[in-house]
């Protein structure tokens, strides 16, 4: 396990562990907590490994989270991190936001992806049948944005109710394989002119 943790460090370790059990730890949200996490990384990893979780830290992007460890032996531990089935509208929005993030990164512009609710509606509209009720589409996208916000993939900008920042952690959850599989389903839905 390495160097023993002193009394003061134990309190820091407890704070870091509790933060990770609650969800994602962001550098920009709490610099002190982030520095504690990096300083105690070996202890934190050891703690979570004992309960079948891997600590994932992306220092470049500034976030850390827990992921259930894959069991190579086939015997699965009970899941501590709950896996959620997402509604089509939420999955669609996540895929479209991830693609938009890839485009923004490729253009070499600002590393932050900021968009309004109306821009999110425009992204989703392409995948809906022609003649779909505009008010209904806006309501669906607003609900999906709320769910995506609850999941921690977007956050509202202070003082701007309809403007969101897409969090960089989306990259860790919506990877190239997920996007590829979702792309295939999207093309089928687009060809049919329907959604599931």
Contact yes or no for 68/80 (Cβ under 8 A): yes
What pLDDT score was predicted for residue 81?
Answer: 62
Task: Check residue 37 and give its pLDDT.
Answer: 96
DSSP structure class, residue 126: T
Q: What is the pLDDT of residues 32-67, one digit of tens each?
A: 999 999 999 999 999 999 988 999 999 999 999 998
Return the closest-CA partner of residue 153 out of 5, 32, 24, 31: 24
Tokens matching residue 117 = 């609710």
Domains present along the chain, CATH in parentheses: 7-68 (1.10.10), 88-192 (1.10.10)
pLDDT for the residue 36: 95
Is the pTM above the cut of 0.95? no
d(CA 110, CA 136): 32
Which percentage of the chain shows pLDDT scores above 70? 84
Does 194 score more than 60 pLDDT? Answer: no
């Amino acid at each position: 396990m390495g160097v023993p943790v002193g009394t003061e460090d134990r309190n820091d370790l407890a704070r870091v562990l509790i933060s990770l059990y609650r969800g994602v730890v962001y550098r920009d949200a709490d610099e002190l907590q982030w520095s504690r996490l990096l300083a105690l990384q070996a202890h934190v990893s050891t703690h979570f490994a004992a309960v079948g979780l891997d600590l994932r830290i992306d220092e470049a992007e500034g976030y850390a989270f827990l992921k259930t460890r894959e069991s190579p032996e086939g015997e699965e531990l009970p899941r501590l991190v709950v896996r959620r089935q997402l509604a089509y509208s939420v999955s669609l929005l996540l895929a479209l936001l991830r693609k938009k993030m890839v485009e923004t990164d490729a253009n070499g512009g600002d590393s932050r992806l900021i968009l309004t609710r109306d821009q999110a509606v425009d992204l989703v509209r392409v995948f809906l049948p022609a003649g779909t009720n505009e008010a209904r589409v806006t309501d669906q996208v607003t609900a999906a944005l709320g769910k995506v916000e609850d999941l921690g993939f977007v956050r509202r900008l202070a003082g701007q109710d309809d403007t969101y920042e897409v969090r960089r952690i989306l990259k860790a959850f919506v990877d190239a394989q997920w996007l590829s599989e979702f792309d295939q389903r999207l093309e089928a839905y687009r060809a049919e002119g329907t959604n599931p």
